[in-house]
Amino acid sequence: MEAILSNNPNNIMPPAPHSPMNASQIALIQQWINQGANNTTNCNFGACDSTTFRYSADIAPIMLTFCNGCHSGAFPSAGINTSTHSGLATTIFGGYLLGSVNHISPYSSMPKNDGKLDICKLTIIRKWIEAGAQNN
């Protein structure tokens, strides 16, 4: 926000020759920051439906958006692979997955350096685990 609101031509965003943002664009960015600056790519902006909690339709998309960037591939961060059911299943025992996404100590808060997932996503993850964390 400092760069967006700056009058210093060396620090202003967007830089010249781009036009400054208008008031509604600035307000939208400020609102996003005030709400936690969460990555909302591919989010469902409809009402929360936590009545379904299937791995393929509900859990895997959450992991793709918020976890797989660090926790996938040949060398996933902390050795935890959230891009597959079997990899994610290893985080369920001992409460690691729920502790991490709910930012409960002593677990590492996930997503790393970001706010908690919204209550709907947290509820879907919790219900999926409580129902046996099926690969469905």
The per-residue pLDDT for 46 is: 54
Give the CA radius of gyration of the chain: 19
Per-residue pLDDT, 102: 93
Going by C-alpha positions, the residue among 104, 64, 30 that lies closest to residue 96 is 104
- The pLDDT score that the predictor gives to residue 41 is 56
pLDDT means per 10 residues, the chain with 136 residues, are: 85 82 81 73 61 92 94 93 95 91 94 89 94 95
pLDDT the model gives residue 82 = 96
Query: How much is the pTM?
Result: 0.65
pLDDT value, residue 9: 82
Domain boundaries defined on the chain? 2-34, 55-130
Tokens read off for 26: 């600035």
